[in-house]
Amino acid sequence: MRQNVAAGTTPVGTKVQAKLTVATLVDGVVVPRDAVFSGEVTESVAKSATDPSRLAIRMDSAQWKKGSAPIVVSLASKIYLTAWYYPVAETRFQDLSDQSPDDAPQSWNHRNRPPAFPDPNGSASEPFPGRGAGTDPSSSPPSPASNISKHRALMKNVESTRTSDGAVTLTSKSFNIKIDKLTTYVLATGDLLRTN
């Protein structure tokens, strides 16, 4: 996503964009990596004492450059935000246990272990998958595609439903759903089934 979106805070009708991280076939057209999908927030309701948080985002068009000419495609099939995302992949570090403490990287702890990565399915109060609630979004650089796991994960305590018109709506009884611009989400024409 190119902006943060929060259920109950971001108004319905807000225009949103998402940058594609993998080339995708949509309506018989190969939409290349780095193309930009454009759409809008179609539902945005904050959690109450009796009702869950609800959020729906629909993408209507895609745009990319071919040479110097921009290509804009209106999508016949509407594409929706799903409850799936790609967490940041764990990085494998070299075993530097034979190095002296003076040679070890400064960010490592006293046992020469790499710093811990946040659990993408951490606390239910964590609003953004893969990030702590206290993190300042403006201070973190966007993750390159090479740091993204090859396996998608389901957002914890978030369910998705498909309405009679085919739209996908995310709901949570635990917290207000927030979509973080630094996380890679899955957009699809319908809800995705669980895979192993």
What's the pLDDT tens digit per position in 59-91? 999 999 887 788 888 888 889 999 999 888 765
For residues 68 and 21, which has the higher predicted lDDT (pLDDT)? 21
C-beta separation of 31 from 64 below 8 A:
yes
For residues 96-119, average pLDDT: 43
- Which residues, in sequence order, are CB contacts of 148 under 8 Å at separation 6+? 21, 86, 87, 88, 89, 184
For residues 134 and 78, which has the higher predicted lDDT (pLDDT)? 78
CA 191/CA 181 separation, integer angstroms: 21
pLDDT band at 119 (very low <50, low <70, confident <90, very high): very low
Lowest mean pLDDT segment, chosen from 21-30, 130-139, 181-190: 130-139
On the question of pLDDT at 140 being above 80, the answer is: no
In this structure, how many other beta carbons lie within 10 angstroms of the beta carbon of residue 168?
A: 24
Q: Which amino acid is at 112?
A: N
Domain extents for the chain? 5-88+125-188
For residues 142 and 13, which has the higher predicted lDDT (pLDDT)? 13
